[in-house]
Structure 1
């Protein structure tokens, strides 16, 4: 488990969503994103824990990943985001997928946002200790809203009381452990 310093109280905007968030035809902020379901040698999944700046009481666990930059492939974005958010380097050829895709509509930073996401599966080859991760590549939004990185046993994850994104992640990972059939599955919200 890796934790960060306590989040400061927020009384007004301290930053804005990044430039990759553009207004869609319906006025909702939109971006394409790539995410990584990273598993260790014990089939535990690495998740981030965070909240929104204006709803600190609501928190959730989510996979590593973020926005795809202009001209960047989803696979390259997944590798880059994994490194920026954890300090873990993985060769893009070692990613499986995309195994899942979804369109997520959510509130974040006082705005409704839509994100078209693809999920890749990756294996972590290093030490799973807390000192294995780095926050050096975090954006200000990540510093303000993420307080923990944690390896989750799939049974514990299935029993978690807090929100986890994507929904039913433990069940989804169990399905992938049997092998991926080459089909990108569409997930609900």
Structure 2
């Protein structure tokens, strides 16, 4: 059995909107598609929630508070994805990783189905995370 690659991803949600990044067309995996706000490999000795905090800073320039784990369905059997809802952070998200992403945008829930998503099977989870982030602040 092949080991799955540990990945942590963030779903930044504010005022009922979710921040997605557009993966650069030159990316090897899932090019030219919209993806979670930030994410990447969990490094050796790092916990998934630590990875998501690091990735948000590296890719978006924000310092995350209170990342809450949420279910996420990903059909890629090579990945072990841990997703985190983020509703509090310091700073305004910017594209701090232009070699990885060529755009970032806030979307309303109704706009997501019309996007080319890196992981379309995650759409129900994305919508649920938006609702959680908008309706119920994370428990501290």
Higher share of residues assigned helix: 2
CA contact (8 A) 1:48 1:146 kept: yes
Q: Distance in 1 between matches of 2:95 and 2:73?
A: 26
Higher share of residues assigned strand: 1
CA contact (8 A) 1:36 1:78 kept: yes
Give the superposition deviation at 1:155.
Answer: 0.8
Q: Distance in 2 between matches of 1:37 and 1:51?
A: 19
Residue 100 (structure 1) aligns with: 72
Residue ranges of structure 1 left out of the alignment (5+ in a row) = 1-23, 106-113, 181-189
Give the superposition deviation at 1:96.
Answer: 1.3
Of 149, 167, 173, 2:104 maps to 149
Over 3 Å counting, the alpha-carbon distance change for 1:171 and 1:115 in structure 2 is: closer
Residue ranges of structure 2 left out of the alignment (5+ in a row) = none
Give the superposition deviation at 1:98.
Answer: 3.9
Alignment of 1:19-168 (within 5 A): 25=2, 31-40=5-14, 42-53=15-26, 59-63=32-36, 64-91=38-65, 94-100=66-72, 102=74, 104=76, 114-124=78-88, 132-136=92-96, 138=97, 143=99, 145-158=100-113, 160=114, 162-168=115-121
TM-score, structure 1 as length reference: 0.57
Q: Distance in 2 between matches of 1:170 and 1:101?
A: 9
